[in-house]
Amino acid sequence: MQLSPAERLLWGYGVTEPAHIDLEGIAHDQNAQVIYRPLHGCEARLATFGDRAVISVNSSSSEGRQRFSLAHELAHWICDRHSGSFLCAQEDIGPQNAEARTTEAQANGYASQLILPTYLVDPWLENKDAHLEIASALGNDFRTSVTAAAIKMIKRSKKAALIACHNQTRLLWHQRSRSFPSDFFPVRELHCDTEAFDMVFSDKSRMTKIKKEPANRWINGSGVYRLEAQTQSMRLPDGTILSSISLISENNRSRRF
Ligand SMILES: [Zn+2]
C-alpha cells in the first residue's frame, strides 16, 4: 500500500496502533511547542521562529477538535514552514474541507491522515457497515470527533453509503463512499417523516437507532423510490444533524450495490 506523507511520518515513529498517535510527542520532536489557551477569533495558530515553532490550540474546544487543530497546525509546520506563521479560523480547520487545492484544504487532508491514518483505519473497519455508531466507535478508539471519524469511515467504506449534515433549513455538506451511485444526491432539506427532522427542531442529543426506511426520504435520483436505506442520525455539538444513509442491496431490484 502506498503511504501518504502523513502516514510515512507516523510509520517512521513506529505507530502501529491508534493509541500510539502522540501528536504532542511528534510536535516536540519537530521542534514545535504546544500551548492550550483560550483563543479569540481563531481556532489555532502557528508562530514560527527560525527552526522552532509555537502551536497554540483553543483550550475551550472539545478534545477531538483540539487534536484535529493540532494536526492541522503540524501540517503547516511540516509542509508549509517556508510560508511563516498561520492564524487558522474555525471554518478553515475541519475534515469536511480537505479536498480543495488551497493551503488550508491541504493542511486538513494531511491532518486527517495524521489522526486517522488509512493503514490503521482500513483493518479497523474491515467489513463493518457504514453507520454512525461505527463512526462513533472509530472516533473513540482514535480520539477524534465523530465527524472526522464518519468522514474517514465513508471514504474507506466498500458499502454504497453516504453521510450528510443538515441544519433546520438545508444540507450543509455531504460525503459519499466510492460505490455510492454518482447520480444519487442527498436531499436538500430534512424530510419531515425522519427522526432527524424531529431532532433538528428539539434539543434531543441522543443518537437514533439504526432504522430501515424508504431511501427517497434521504436521497434524490432516478429509481430511488423503489429502494430502502438503513439510516442513523445524531445531533452534533453545534446543533446540526449528522446522518448516515446506507442503501440496501436486494437481488431482485434493478440496481445492485
Ligand atoms: Zn490553517
Query: What pLDDT shows up at residue 204?
Result: 75
Query: Distance from the CA of 24 to the center of ligand 1, in angstroms?
Result: 18
- CATH no., domain 127-247: 3.30.450
Distance 62 CA to ligand 1 centre (A): 18
Question: What separation in Å is there between the alpha carbon of 179 and the centre of ligand 1?
Answer: 31
* Equal fold, 5-118 vs 127-247: no
**C-alpha dist (Å) from residue 228 to 130, 136, 179, 217, 224:** 15, 23, 16, 9, 8
Please tell me the distance between residue 188's alpha carbon and the centre of ligand 1 in angstroms. Answer: 29
Question: What is the model's pLDDT at position 41?
Answer: 85
Selecting from 2.60.60, 1.10.8, 1.10.10, 3.30.70, what CATH number does the domain 5-118 have?
1.10.10
The domain ranges of the chain are 5-118, 127-247
- Say how many Å lie between the CA of residue 197 and the centre of ligand 1: 33
Distance 139 CA to ligand 1 centre (A): 22
Cα–ligand 1 centroid distance for 134 (angstroms): 29
Distance separating alpha carbons of residues 32 and 52, to the nearest angstrom = 6
Distance from C-alpha of 233 to C-alpha of 219, rounded to nearest angstrom? 15
Residues having C-beta closer than 5 Å to ion ligand 1: 86, 88, 104, 107
What's the pLDDT score for residue 80?
Answer: 87
Q: How far is CA 185 from the centre of its chain?
A: 19
How far does residue 220's CA lie from ligand 1's centre (Å)? 35
Q: Quickly tell me which residue has 503547516 as its cell.
A: 76
CA distance 190 to 208: 15
Query: What are the grid coordinates assigned to 219, written together?
Result: 436521497
- Write down the pLDDT at residue 252: 47
pLDDT (tens digit, 0 to 9) for every residue of the chain, 257 residues total?
799 999 999 999 999 999 999 999 999 999 999 999 999 889 999 999 999 999 999 999 999 999 999 999 999 999 988 788 889 998 899 988 777 778 999 999 999 999 999 999 999 999 899 999 999 999 999 999 999 999 999 999 999 999 999 999 999 999 999 999 999 999 999 999 999 999 999 977 789 999 999 999 999 999 999 999 999 999 998 899 999 999 997 554 555 55
The alpha carbon of 88 and the centre of ligand 1 are apart by a number of angstroms equal to 4
CB-based contacts of 98, cutoff 8 Å, min separation 6: 105, 108, 109, 111, 112, 151
Q: How far is the CA of 130 from the centre of ligand 1 (A)?
A: 29
Give burial (CB, 10 Å; 0-12/13-18/19+) of 68. Answer: buried
User: Cα of 47 to ligand 1 centre, how many Å?
Assistant: 12
